[in-house]
Chains A and B, each alone.
Chain A
Amino acid sequence: MHKRVTFDDKLLPYMLLAPQLFITVAFFLWPSGQAIWQSLIIEDAFGGNTRFVWFANFERLLTDSAYWHSARITLFFSLMVTLIGLALALLLAVMADRTLRGATAYKTFLVWPYAVAPAVAGVLWGFLFNPRVGIFAYWLDRFGIEWNHQLNGNQALWLVIFAACWNQISYNFIFFLAGLQSIPKSLIEAAAIDGAGPGRRFWTIMFPLLSPTGFFLLVVNIIYAFFGTFGVVDALTKGGPAADTTILVFKVYNDGFRGSDFGGSAAQSVILMLIVVALTVVQFRFIERRVHY
């Protein structure tokens, strides 16, 4: 943590830190403080008077059925994005790890979706399932399934889940593959000599040894699903139809910028900040301990 040899200079270290600290304070800490302050006041419609109202904004929010609807959707959405994304990535990583020579080639073909912006992913999947010209919508129609995510809230939610998973799979894949490749081959060989087949070796050796990677990815994916998917939702459904894909982070934006409900939006911001802080703390605890079973 500390260097034995350091330089002596009274002014220089502050000058070196100044830009980073200025931006941190001006664009992170100050706005966060403002969000907390705004969540405790009500501004009248003409912007002149402000009234300190303690937790009235939170009370209003937590008794609003639209907020709970959004919270339920967010929970389901995050759960699905995390589970599907992790399961598919693990499957692909295990398979790529098996094919010794192919691993690098497949890796190149599997990592690039990370570079696609969430909003672009949203547009792409929206086009694939477009009720009028989408190729998937056309195929589904031939199987007798009528697809219209612009009207059907359930279909819209699944479509947002697919797009978000597609965008995140390569990230999970990279970490799972790195985790698998760091498992000592001698362990697996020893198990093979003792007569354990591939399936048994996976569940008793590889899977437990992957648990630190798995936990880490679990937290990162939940954070991604909660906060990183704004672009997917905005480009694909704009929260609709009828607020059925309005996840919490989209609601903050929608209420604050479109609805001009600053108090309510700020209260939502504060709740989301608490969630991020909690998740980050969990993430750091897991990383420090490096869970092994």
Chain B
Amino acid sequence: MIENRPWLTVFAHVVLILGVALIAFPVWVTFVASTHDTATMLRSPIPLLPGPHLIENYTVVLTEGFAQASRTPLWKVLFNSLVMALGVCIGKIAISIIAAYAIVYFRFPFRMTAFWLIFMTLMLPVEVRIVPTYKVVADFNMLNSYSGLIIPLIASATATFLFRQFFLSVPDELTEAARVDGAGPVRFFRDILLPMSRTSIAALFVIQFIYGWNQYLWPLLITTKEDFYTVVMTLSRQANVIDGVPQWNLIMTVGMLAMLPPVLVVVFMQRQFVRGLVDTEK
């Protein structure tokens, strides 16, 4: 900083450490809960230090599942979430990048109409048009299927904009050179534009993976069979079971497993994550 004010620096660190502690505390409690047995977790106050049942809890949850809301082994549920997250983020990136390519690199009638149609989806989050969207998916026979989980979510105005912005910044000379060398539109896209878009794709991938993994309302609506449950909705179902003794140790184990993949993606791809967040909002 500009001048040396040690007390202020100390104050800053104290505030930050308190902030980090406050933000991490719920997850710490969740982790601790996932390392004890059911009986311990029913006696208040619950412990704040890890116990000896970590491996046991995770094995039970992953391979056997537990009663109450659903009995599916969690690895299947996690697999569903993974399929959905990857499907949504790859689908979004794929259809957006080709749509942006069409809008930027071609002149054709209704170009701007198409652009505005895509733009409008930005304004209509799934939460506000729940019932009619559900009906459309039911009419397409896509309830209880991976395609029903994925396809309705892959239209993306933000991704299309991001790629459009990027394509507009690519110098025209590059296109000219490619054309002189006899490259057609498909070849130019595949050999020049796609490799140049790597960083944008990586940034979008992180953001959309989290978006897909964390979907809640959508899978809740269109899945009625346990075979297609995702981990986030499974957690909520388990935590809201009314009858019987809640097995908090196992529920919180599910909680840890529901958080871990997207959190790891953010922590290990932090640079792409921040870039993606800032870019998609522009």
Please tell me which one of the listed residues B8, B124, B154, B235 contacts residue A123 in the complex, with CB atoms under 8 A apart: B235
Contact across chains for A17 and B103 when beta carbons are under 8 A apart: yes
- Residue of A with least CB distance to B239: A123
Looking at B14-22, B56-64, B197-205, the stretch in contact with chain A turns out to be B14-22
Say whether, besides A119-B235, A123-B255, A133-B248, A99 and B281 are in contact (CB < 8 Å): no
* Residue B136 is within 8 A (CB to CB) of chain A in the complex: yes
Contact across chains for B23 and A119 when beta carbons are under 8 A apart: no
Contact across chains for B2 and A192 when beta carbons are under 8 A apart: yes
Report B11-53 CB contacts with A as 1/0, cut-off 8 Å: 1110110011001111101100100000001111110100000
Please tell me which one of the listed residues A17, A127, A171, A252 contacts residue B239 in the complex, with CB atoms under 8 A apart: A127
Give the complex CA separation of A138 and B98 in angstroms. Answer: 55
Residues of chain B contacted by A10 (CB below 8 angstroms): 108
Contact across chains for B214 and A269 when beta carbons are under 8 A apart: no
Contact across chains for A19 and B48 when beta carbons are under 8 A apart: no
Residues of chain B contacted by A124 (CB below 8 angstroms): 26-27, 29-30, 255
- Residue of A with least CB distance to B258: A120
Give the complex CA separation of A261 and B186 in angstroms. Answer: 50
Give the complex CA separation of A102 and B17 in angstroms. Answer: 11
Cβ of B216 to closest chain A Cβ, rounded Å: 4
Contact across chains for A24 and B135 when beta carbons are under 8 A apart: no
Looking at A58-66, A68-76, A78-86, A103-111, the stretch in contact with chain B turns out to be A103-111
Contact across chains for B136 and A189 when beta carbons are under 8 A apart: no
Give the complex CA separation of A3 and B102 in angstroms. Answer: 12
17 A/B residue pairs, CB under 8 Å, sorted by A:
A7-B105, A13-B102, A34-B132, A88-B19, A91-B15, A109-B23, A114-B266, A117-B213, A117-B215, A117-B259, A119-B232, A119-B236, A121-B26, A123-B236, A127-B30, A249-B128, A252-B127
Chain A interface residues (CB < 8 Å from chain B): 1, 3-10, 12-14, 16-17, 19-21, 23-32, 34-35, 38, 88, 91-92, 95-96, 98-100, 102, 106-128, 132-135, 137-138, 166, 169-171, 174-175, 178, 188-189, 192, 198, 216, 220, 227-228, 230-231, 234-235, 238, 249, 252-253, 256-257, 262, 265-266, 269, 272-273, 276-277, 280, 287
Question: Other than the known A115-B265, A272-B128, what 14 A-B pairs have Cβ atoms closer than 8 Å?
Answer: A24-B120, A29-B121, A31-B132, A91-B19, A96-B12, A99-B12, A120-B232, A121-B26, A124-B26, A132-B42, A198-B8, A235-B239, A253-B217, A280-B123
